[in-house]
């Protein structure tokens, strides 16, 4: 009986973990699209950071780079200011 309960619990955990991964992927995609939209509207990286509630715009840019590698193509217009 205990073995069956443990197995059922593990299945529930695996299912919950899978759902979290799917949700995180959807959030990542939404954030990527939002940042792309902001860049298309000519917002600077510091302005995007402020809009997203982040203190460090460089962290936002680095996150965008990771999302860009995952979801899109890197465009030269997305380079940070010097």
Residues 37-69: pLDDT tens digits? 999 999 999 999 999 999 999 999 999 999 999
Specify the pLDDT at position 40: 97
> Which segments of the chain does DSSP mark as H helices, in order?
2-40, 45-51, 57-71
The domain locations on the chain are 2-78
Q: Is 15 helix (H, G, I), strand (E, B) or coil?
A: helix
pTM attached to this predicted model: 0.74
Whether the predicted pLDDT of 26 surpasses 50: yes
Q: Binning pLDDT at 50, 70 and 90, where does residue 75 land?
A: low
Computed over every residue of the chain, the mean pLDDT equals 90
51 membership: H or E segment, kind and range: helix 45-51
């Amino acid at each position: 009986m205990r073995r069956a309960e443990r197995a059922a619990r593990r299945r529930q955990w695996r299912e919950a973990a899978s759902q979290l991964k799917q949700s995180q992927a959807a959030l990542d995609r939404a954030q990527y699209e939002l940042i792309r939209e902001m860049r298309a509207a000519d917002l600077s990286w510091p302005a995007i950071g402020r809009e997203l509630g982040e203190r460090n715009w460089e962290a936002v840019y680095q996150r965008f780079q990771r999302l860009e590698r995952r979801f899109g193509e890197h465009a030269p217009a997305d380079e940070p200011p010097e």
